[in-house]
Amino acid sequence: MHCCIHREQLAVKKMPHCLKTVLDEAVKIVNMIKGKSLNTRIFKVLCDEMGSEHTKLLFHTEVRWLSRGKVLTRLFELRDEVKLFMHQTDELYDRMHDFQWLATLSYLADIFSFLNSLNLALQGETVTIFTVQDKIKAARIKMDLWCTCLDRLEFDNFPTLADFLLTADEVLGNDTIAAFKEHLCGLHTHLGRYFPELDVDLEWIRNPFGDKPQIELVSSKLSARETDSLVDIVSDGSLKMAFREKSLTDFWIYIQPEHPELAQSALKILMPFSTTYKCEVAFSALVSLKTKQRNQVNVAPSMRLRLSSLEPDIQSVMQNMHQHHSSH
């Protein structure tokens, strides 16, 4: 079972060939400028002379697939500077003067920025499978609505594309719009396949304070003692206060001493990792610690300090330190 972050990346990798071609060509343009230090310096000087907001492009990394949103957005924002920088002999020179190509680039920048935001929403220490399912469901509904908007030639849901069309004198081609719709429909389908709907009988875990019909509905899935515990929870006003103040997992841990069997059933659903967020954070911390300047083998103490939620009292530690001078 892949974690939700990996599943999202697998779901969004497929796209129509025409969009994939634009994406690959955009990456080639970025690599052509960023791949050589001389080109990078010349491009920076060009951006400074033109008074650009940014002075450099961003590298694309295949490992971080959704970083393409920032890469493509930066390329589109600096498209005028890239036009001046590229020579007519360059292989992809004509692409930066092609309206349909630039429109497709702006669409890709918007959709990958959205997918990157979705990716960030799936991360966090308190994320559960219910949180993941809600975020994915909302994204799929938006994609359906966006397809309807494209039928009406409304592009407000894609701000970069909308601004580009507003300032341009040309009209977006029907084939290009069809490719956008095909991509959105594909995303909707693949996300649904990688994130199947949860069993409705598990809703009592997310909302244990349901009414009598809801309790009767889930009672067939629970034992008699678990059903009695659920009724006790619904009738306890103090637990309603605790439910509002605590995260979902913390709430079930909190009531475990009083309702052990029901809490155990809920925690079996909540505790499996829906995301490898903490592992990714640990990898990032390790990369920042293991540098050329600090390449000691044992990084466990530093990792423990970096990943802990406790804030060290540096002042007290420094006050308790004593200087040791070697005697000659």
Q: Which residues of 277-296 are buried (b: 16+ CB within 10 A; e: fewer)?
A: beeeeeeebeeeeeeeeeee
Global pTM reads 0.81
**Which one of 146, 171, 194 terminates a domain?**
194
Identify which of 256, 269, 264, 259 has the alpha carbon closest to the alpha carbon of residue 206. 269
pLDDT of residue 139: 94
Specify the amino acid at residue 256.
Q
Same domain? For 245 and 166 the reply is no
Segment 122-171, tens digit of pLDDT: 888 778 888 889 999 999 999 999 999 999 999 999 999 999 999 887 88
| C-alpha distance from residue 149 to each of 97, 160, 181, 184, 200 (Å) | 27, 16, 10, 12, 31
**Measured distance CA(282)–CA(294) in Å, rounded:** 17
Which of 92, 105, 102, 116 has its CA nearest to residue 23? 105
Confidence at 102, pLDDT banded by 50, 70, 90: very high
Final residue of a domain: which of 245, 270, 295? 270
Q: Is residue 160 part of a domain?
A: yes
Range of the domain at 164: 4-194
Q: What is the pLDDT of residue 227?
A: 87
Percent of the chain whose predicted confidence (pLDDT) is above 70: 93
**Mean pLDDT calculated for residue range 205-226:** 83
Residue 174 lies in a domain: yes
| Same domain, residue pair 217 and 176 | no
In this structure, the answer to whether residues 190 and 208 fall within a common structural domain is: no
Give the residue from 252, 162, 245 showing the smallest Cα distance to 206.
Answer: 252
pLDDT in tens, 6-28: 888 888 888 999 999 999 999 88
* 57 in the same domain as 73: yes
Judge whether 133 lies within some domain.
yes
Closest CA to 192 of 140, 147, 143, 117: 140
- The verdict on residue 327 lying in a domain is no
pLDDT: which is higher, 267 or 303: 267
Please state, in angstroms and as integers, the Cα–Cα distance from residue 222 to each residue in 225, 229, 243, following that order. Answer: 8, 10, 21
Q: How many whole angstroms separate alpha carbon 115 and alpha carbon 254? A: 35
Q: Which secondary-structure segment (H or E) carries 236?
A: none
Is the model's pLDDT at 326 over the cut of 70?
A: no
Lowest mean pLDDT among 19-28, 53-62, 161-170, 265-274: 53-62
Tokens of 199: 């069993």
pLDDT of residue 2: 60
Nearest Cα neighbor of 269 from 183, 187, 204 is 204
Task: Please give the pLDDT value at position 159.
Answer: 93
Q: Between these two residues, 232 and 65, which has the higher pLDDT value?
A: 232
| Weakest-pLDDT range from 29-38, 56-65, 209-218, 244-253 | 56-65
| Contact indicator for 179, 105 with CB cutoff of 8 Å | no
DSSP 294: -
Based on the fold, state whether residues 146 and 241 are members of the same structural domain: no
User: Phi-psi region for residue 313, left (φ > 0), alpha (ψ -120 to 50) or beta?
Assistant: beta
Give me the number of domains the chain comprises. 2
Residue of 273, 272, 265, 253 lying closest to 218 (CA atoms): 265
d(CA 118, CA 141): 13
Distance separating alpha carbons of residues 271 and 279, to the nearest angstrom: 15
Rounded to the nearest angstrom, the gap between the alpha carbon of residue 252 and the centroid of all alpha carbons in its chain is: 27
| Residue 60, pLDDT above cutoff 80 | no
12 belongs to a structural domain = yes
pLDDT band at 92 (very low <50, low <70, confident <90, very high): confident
C-alpha 184/C-alpha 19 separation (Å) is 12
Tokens in use for 32? 């052509």
Q: 320 lies in a domain? A: no
